[in-house]
Amino acid sequence: MKQFSLVMLFFLLVSSVASAQLDIGQDKSRKAKAVLSLTDAIAEKKTPEAEEKKEDKGIFSFMNFSFSKNKKKPEEYVRPNEKTETFLQRITRQADEGDVDAQLTLGYMYLYGENGVSVDYKKAFDYYSLAAAQNDNIAVNNLGSLYFSGIGTAKDVLKAAMLFEKASKLGNVEATVNLAFIYISGNGVLRNSQEAINLFKKAAEAGNPTAKFMTGYAYYKGFMIKKDLKKAVSMMREAANAGYDDAQYVLAVMYLNGEGITKNYGNAVKYLYKAIEQGNVDAMVTLGDILALGIIYNKDLYKAHILFNVAAVRGAEKAAEKRDVLEKNLKIEEFLQAQSEAEKYEEHPSELTVYIKKTFGDNVRKYIDDNLKAMPVRNIPR
């Protein structure tokens, strides 16, 4: 499935991590459908408008897309009496006859220039429109994403929001998350943090891992819902076990402080290491502090130096100062080896972590802290 999910300058939005990625809550019988997931940049788009938008590196930069690769193969469209048709002729005819799978696949093909066609955003938009007109929830969600980013049509965030709302009511979980982020950002509509939380809770109940993190963090902070650390632990653990590095970090902090769960320094360190493996800088600094102090865990100045060194390169505040302090307490051979180990460090983020960071940026928690607060309530016009 190829399913769009919104993402934009602190505004957007989450998509399916379909099949091999994170195909959450979608009917498995629909895997042939082209489900769009907006997270990796469309390399082919070279228009001046696209180049201008690439300048925008803020949180939620929405000119990013990625699509899973499990759409129908050409031979799957072949019927016994159709051997003389090319794949493009056949699928185009089937799309014109109203075949939703064909319409979705053609939309994807023209969006990315696959299976022998050139990139044509207008045709991509037209085929998604045809599928959306049949109330296919994936197509409606994808069409909303095209409106949101202005691909194949004029940008219209309000129209996108209305389509996400429709797709959500048709059962598309990714559209529910997309709409929630629009409510948080206030992009095209007034901010409505309460409705955003309601939508995140709905998507979390349907199994969406990003929504689980957002809802769990809301319970942790007491944003728009009553603070509930036990619920926060439960949802944060699910997001952490799904592979999201920031959820692993937050869960580690909860273990360290005994927030909603019994203090367990061993588990805290375990989840910190998981997050560090993915490149989480906050986890590096936190574990570095723990190992440097040696109060709640075995002291290890060598590992602490490595962690502070890697974090410093990634811009962590005061990490360089902490590294330099430890340097004076290491033997010369330890110091040189620690530097060598820091240089060899490579992060290995999970698919979920890559997706969320490309969608929302590297500091999602700060964005939530700054924006997920009570605002005037106003429904999206229908």
Interior angle at CA 286, CA 243 and CA 332, nearest 5: 115
* Average pLDDT of the residues of the chain: 81
Measuring CA to CA, which residue among 156, 124, 144 is closest to residue 34? Answer: 124
Indicate the pLDDT class of residue 223, thresholds 50, 70 and 90.
confident
Whether 49 shows a pLDDT value over 60: the answer reads no
* Boundary residue ending a domain (161, 189, 217): 189
How far apart, in whole angstroms, are the C-alpha atoms of residue 119 and residue 379? Answer: 37
* Boundary residue ending a domain (164, 189, 214): 189
Is residue 73 located within the same domain as residue 146? yes
For the chain, give the percent of residues with pLDDT over 90: 64
Residue 92 counted as domain residue: yes
Whether 32 shows a pLDDT value over 60: the answer reads no
Is residue 56 located within the same domain as residue 170? yes
Whether 314 shows a pLDDT value over 90: the answer reads yes
How far apart, in whole angstroms, are the C-alpha atoms of residue 120 and residue 124? Answer: 6
Is residue 146 located within the same domain as residue 55? yes
Residue 103 counted as domain residue: yes
Is residue 77 located within the same domain as residue 156? yes
Is residue 91 located within the same domain as residue 180? yes
Residue 40 counted as domain residue: yes
Place of tokens 């044509």: 120
Decide: helix, strand or coil at residue 15: coil
Is residue 240 located within the same domain as residue 97? no
Is residue 34 located within the same domain as residue 179? yes
Residue 382 counted as domain residue: no
Q: How many domains does the chain have?
A: 2
What is the per-residue pLDDT for 294?
96
Residue 328 counted as domain residue: yes
Indicate the pLDDT class of residue 26, thresholds 50, 70 and 90.
very low
Whether 163 shows a pLDDT value over 90: the answer reads yes
Which residues of 48-190 form beta strands (DSSP E)? 66-67
What is the per-residue pLDDT for 1?
45
The tens digit of pLDDT for each residue in 266-280 reads: 999 999 999 999 999
Is residue 39 located within the same domain as residue 156? yes
What is the per-residue pLDDT for 2?
57
Q: What is the pTM of this model?
A: 0.74
Q: What is the mean pLDDT of residues 168-197?
A: 88
Is residue 149 located within the same domain as residue 40? yes
Indicate the pLDDT class of residue 54, thresholds 50, 70 and 90.
very low
- Among the ranges given (165-179, 335-349, 364-378), the one the predictor scored with the smallest mean pLDDT: 364-378
Question: Can you name the residues that pair with 37 across neighbouring β-strands?
Answer: 66
10 Å Cβ neighbour count for 118? 9
- Domain boundaries, position 239: 229-352
- Among the ranges given (42-46, 187-191, 250-254, 341-345), the one the predictor scored with the smallest mean pLDDT: 42-46
Is residue 180 located within the same domain as residue 260? no
What is the per-residue pLDDT for 14?
35
What is the per-residue pLDDT for 308?
98
CATH value at residue 308: 1.25.40.10
The tens digit of pLDDT for each residue in 356-381 reads: 887 666 777 887 887 765 444 444 44
Whether 134 shows a pLDDT value over 90: the answer reads yes
Contact, 12 vs 6, CB < 8 A? yes
Contact, 21 vs 2, CB < 8 A? no
Q: What is the mean pLDDT of residues 62-79?
A: 49
* Boundary residue ending a domain (189, 220, 240): 189
Query: Which amino acid makes up residue 10?
Result: F
Residue 113 counted as domain residue: yes
Residue 381 counted as domain residue: no
Question: Which contacts of 210-214 are long-range, i.e. CB under 8 A and separated by 24 or more positions?
Answer: 210/14, 210/177, 210/239, 210/244, 210/352, 210/356, 211/14, 211/173, 211/176, 211/177, 211/180, 212/236, 212/238, 212/239, 212/242, 212/247, 213/239, 213/244, 213/246, 213/247, 213/356, 214/180, 214/368
What is the per-residue pLDDT for 28?
33
Residue 54 has, within 13 A of its CA and on its CB side, a CA count of: 13
Is residue 156 located within the same domain as residue 268? no
Specify the higher pLDDT residue, 380 or 113.
113
How far apart, in whole angstroms, are the C-alpha atoms of residue 306 and residue 323? Answer: 8
Specify the higher pLDDT residue, 378 or 264.
264
Is residue 257 located within the same domain as residue 184? no
Residue 323 counted as domain residue: yes
